[in-house]
Amino acid sequence: MSSEDLEAQEDELLALASIYDGDEFKRAECIRGGEIRIYLDLPQNFKIFVSSNPADDLHNNGNEYVICFLPPLVLNFELPLDYPSNSPPTFTLSGKWLSLTQLTALCKHLDNLWEEHRGNVVLFAWIQFLKEETLTCLNITSPFELKFGSQGNMNRRTAAAPPKRELCLGGATDSEKGEEEAVDVKSLSTLLQEVLDFDQAQQKKCFNKKAHQCNICFSIKLGSECMYFLDCKHVYCRVCLKDYFEVQIKDGRVHCLNCPEPKCPSVATHNQVKELVQEELFARYDHLLLQSSLDLMGNVVTCPRPFCQLPVIEEPDSRMGMCAGCSYVFCTLCCLAYHGISPCKMTPEKLMPLQKEYRHADKAGKKLLEQKCGKRVIQMALEEMKSTKWLEKKSKFCPNCGTRIEAHK
């Protein structure tokens, strides 16, 4: 190694460390080399999709996802003793979402760049090419299909030697891949999820670094102190959103945790609620959400025993429920011990809540109650309500014995 080569290598590595942060450039400890992560600048509204059948086209599949970030290309390099005066860096280029053919094309372009810069340092030129021209070089446009055989890893030991190919996906060799015709749907699904997860994580990372105005208190805060709704992107500070969520949950309106912006349909995710509210309130939110879902299921009731209260599936055509928790067998209509075909003993105390629920329910809710309780019982509840109203209006209590008697005007 000449002193000129050593000085050029050291200057280049120091320059890369000053230009790129620790997430983009990591210098190796034992060798003169390192790892560079290249994050591409995607055009606006860039879309990706996965086709489970090679014969399908985009219009038949229809599953598109708009993303802002793709996982980075990773360039691992080592500087030979006679770089840059004579030999190029040895390198490995990998990308989760690129095929071996595409990676081969990029490696050839890096070789050509070295030939153009022979005798001078070339790493920065490589990085700029990969960052700015990868999509154009590979003719990648939106919507971009993630295909089977992605997640390649290309090794380039010298500029003249052919690349050694390795597959990170499934461990198959090139020859095995050439013979394989079936699409690995599971691997494609995993790759798609990795890309979507990375995109979401990067969006959050960028959001946290910027300042935003809360749409409730109108204060300016860093994104790390704020939260946004995924669908509408409306931003609120965590303090305001926490208070808003807590009030809704305390009032039992767990289906109303939507964006505070008027008429905005965006709804908070389960994880967003968990991240903001206290553990006790989140447990209440979780319970009410589950209970409301169970209430919409016509064949699910709650065990009537106060110490149990587990959800129970009603036996079809029998009005019988058997609790798996406490083994209580009960009538799902009157909630007393199961009595077979004998009539329910519905007391006025049990009928009153039922008639109130029925009277305030919408059309779908009334139909669900009729299916659950039977029209006869609903009619009994309504008649009980009429009787109660008549008694309140037309009768009074006897001053001697307390029995209701007809009131004369």
- Cα–Cα distance measured from residue 237 to residue 224, given in angstroms and rounded to the nearest whole number: 9
- What CATH number does the domain containing 324 carry? 2.20.25.20
In this structure, are 389 and 361 located in the same domain?
yes
- Cα–Cα distance measured from residue 370 to residue 366, given in angstroms and rounded to the nearest whole number: 6
In this structure, are 114 and 182 located in the same domain?
yes
In this structure, are 48 and 131 located in the same domain?
yes
Identify whether 202 is part of a domain. Answer: no
What is the pLDDT, as a whole number, of residue 375? 64
* Structural domain count, the chain: 4
In this structure, are 162 and 75 located in the same domain?
yes
Contact (CB, 8 A) for 35 and 28: yes
Q: Which residues of 12-22 are buried (b: 16+ CB within 10 A; e: fewer)?
A: bbeebeeebee
User: In terms of residue numbers, what domain contains 103?
Assistant: 3-195
The average confidence (pLDDT) of the chain is 81
In this structure, are 335 and 351 located in the same domain?
no
**120 or 189, which is more confident:** 120
In this structure, are 357 and 285 located in the same domain?
no
- Name the CA radius of gyration of the chain, rounded: 34
In this structure, are 186 and 333 located in the same domain?
no
Q: Residue 59 — pLDDT band, cuts 50, 70, 90?
A: very low
Phi, psi angles (nearest 5°) of residue 353: -60, -35
Contact (CB, 8 A) for 242 and 276: yes
- Cα–Cα distance measured from residue 276 to residue 257, given in angstroms and rounded to the nearest whole number: 12
Distances (CA, A) of 218 to 196, 213, 214: 31, 6, 5
Residue 376 has pLDDT above 90, yes or no: no
Give the position of tokens 């009539």. 343
**Cβ atoms within 10 Å, residue 7:** 10
N- to C-terminal Cα separation, the chain: 118
- What CATH number does the domain containing 222 carry? 3.30.40.10
Which of 57, 75, 59 shows the shortest CA–CA distance to 131? 75
In this structure, are 171 and 253 located in the same domain?
no
Contacts 24+ apart (CB under 8 A), 390-398: none
Residue 186: helix, strand or coil by DSSP?
Answer: helix
Q: Residue 175 — pLDDT band, cuts 50, 70, 90?
A: very low
In this structure, are 86 and 156 located in the same domain?
yes
15's tokens: 């320059």
In this structure, are 316 and 404 located in the same domain?
no
Segment 341-371, tens digit of pLDDT: 776 666 666 666 767 777 778 877 777 666 6
Segment 84-129, tens digit of pLDDT: 999 999 999 999 899 889 999 999 999 999 999 999 999 999 999 9
**5 or 147, which is more confident:** 5
* Range of lowest pLDDT (40-44, 45-49, 134-138, 146-150): 146-150
Q: Where are the alpha helices (DSSP H) in 339-397?
A: 348-360, 363-373, 375-394
Contact (CB, 8 A) for 387 and 348: no
Instruction: Name the burial class of residue 258, with classes exposed (0-12), middle (13-18) and buried (19+) by CB atoms within 10 angstroms of its CB.
Output: middle
357's tokens: 């629920």
What is the pLDDT, as a whole number, of residue 16? 94
Please report the beta strands in 294-352, taking only residues with DSSP state E, as ranges in sequence order.
300-302, 311-315, 320-322, 329-331
